[in-house]
Structure 1
Amino acid sequence: MTAKVKEFLRVQLSAFIGGLSDFGIYTFCYTVLKFTAPFSNVISGSLGAIVNFTINRYWSFNSKTQSIGSQLWKFIIVVIGSISLKTLGIHFLVDFLHWHFLLSKGIVEIIVSLGFNFTLQKYWVFKK
């Protein structure tokens, strides 16, 4: 297995771990606290991002040579874009198409995570 494939798999595992915390918080906010699906996503995405940044910096990309500050501000921009895209997608699927809130979150997560997050994190935030 090549180094690039291993890195990609580590990033996906990191996203999965961050995603588990994200989904748990999202479900709690939506079902227990009765927040809207889009607002629940903003809260859960923000907290899941903290988990994801830490794992990516120290394990997935092993990118500790750059200062944490230079990576963090880039990561925050990516997270804001990611949460915005996900929130709009969830809002559309839940509030307009009336899809199940978890199915909507799952579909939107996969699309944004692979197409937006991975690309920007690899080639901009944690670029070596």
Structure 2
Amino acid sequence: MSKRKSVFVFAKAQVSAFTGGLLDYGVMIFCTELLHIHYTISIAIGGIIGAVLNFSVNRYWTFNANQANHSPVGFQLVKFIFVVAGSIALKSSGTWLVTNGLHIDYKISRIMVDIIVSLGFNYVLQKYWVFRKQPTKELHQTDF
């Protein structure tokens, strides 16, 4: 993949993450502030809702992973669920640690943790594991 295309895919992934993140963050605030659910649980609820949007956008727009040279949607979805579970665990525990360790409001801690998890965990696993292209088998003379 060319450097220009890699930058373009990275930018699209960040737009997707930001869009899903806004939904996720909004749900977290709603659940915590209005429904009085602990913020670590609200992060999980928001993460699941944001993940639905993020999976769809990434599959069809960011990585074009609905093409024949990608895994079937079921395989992608199973892998994505593992990534989301890890992401939610990292975001919930990281937000709790930063909030309690540094005595920062959970809303700010969440943003700090989100940036790290989104770039260092979610993007890498989605690009190179969940939505990666399948290698094409080349025919060699010995295959005949």
Instruction: Report the TM-score when normalising by structure 2.
Output: 0.85
What is the rounded CA distance, in whole Å, between the counterparts of 2:54 and 2:62 in structure 1? 10
Give the Å deviation of 1:96: 4.0
Give the Å deviation of 1:92: 1.2
Secondary structure (helix, strand or coil) at the match of 1:2 reads helix
Q: 2:39 aligns with which of 22, 37, 46?
A: 37
- Normalized per residue, the structure richer in helix is 1
Q: Is the 8 A contact 1:29 1:40 kept in 2?
A: yes
Gaps of 5+ in 1: none
Q: Deviations over 1:55-89 (max 9, x none)?
A: 00000001113311010000000000010011101
Q: Is the 8 A contact 1:37 1:94 kept in 2?
A: no
The sequence identity of aligned pairs, in percent, is 48
Tell which structure's C-alpha radius of gyration is larger. Answer: 2
Aligned length: 128
Q: Which residue of 2 aligns with 1:79?
A: 84
RMSD over aligned Cα, in angstroms?
Answer: 1.1
Pairing of 1:1-128 with structure 2 (within 5 A): 2-65=4-67, 66-128=71-133
Gaps of 5+ in 2: 134-144
What is the rounded CA distance, in whole Å, between the counterparts of 2:100 and 2:75 in structure 1? 37
Instruction: Report the TM-score when normalising by structure 1.
Output: 0.96
